[in-house]
Amino acid sequence: METLYLEDNQIGDAGAKGLGEGLSNCTKLETLYLKGNQIGDAGAIGLGEVLSHCTNLKVLDLGHNQIGDAGAKGLGEGQLGNTGSSGQPDWRCRPKVSEKVSTTAPT
């Protein structure tokens, strides 16, 4: 399997941890879409713990989840261990739409 598309399935932290465990031996996975799944720090940390085993992972989309600083750190640690993929992986974590930052200058 090279691509796994699980956007908007509301898997949450427990689902992300379980998915991470299931993917720990999936060395051919190149693209993983987990956008909009209510994944928080615990789920991101769980994914980060196994990402170093996904040596061909090039795209990880975690946009529109609730990942904070601790989760981002856990993912970053997993990325540092991912030395098998060529080039810099494209790991996306965008804020939820409701968290858009205003570009209007204060008055």
pLDDT on residue 15: 95
Residue 97 per-residue DSSP state: G
Residues 6+ apart with CB under 8 A from 86: none
| Ranges assigned E (strand) in the chain | 3-5, 31-33, 59-61, 90-92
pTM above 0.95, yes or no: no
Give residue-wise pLDDT tens across range 14-47: 999 999 888 888 888 889 999 999 999 999 999 9
- 30, two tokens: 């190149």
In a domain, 103, yes or no: no
In a domain, 28, yes or no: yes
In a domain, 68, yes or no: no
In a domain, 12, yes or no: yes
Pairing of strands 31-33, 3-5: parallel
In a domain, 102, yes or no: no
- For residues 28 and 46, give the distance between their C-alpha atoms in angstroms, rounded to a whole number: 20
In a domain, 105, yes or no: no
Share of the chain above pLDDT 90, in %: 40
Tell me how many domains the chain contains.
Answer: 1
Domain that holds residue 28: 3-58+79-96
In a domain, 19, yes or no: yes
Mean pLDDT of 53-59: 84
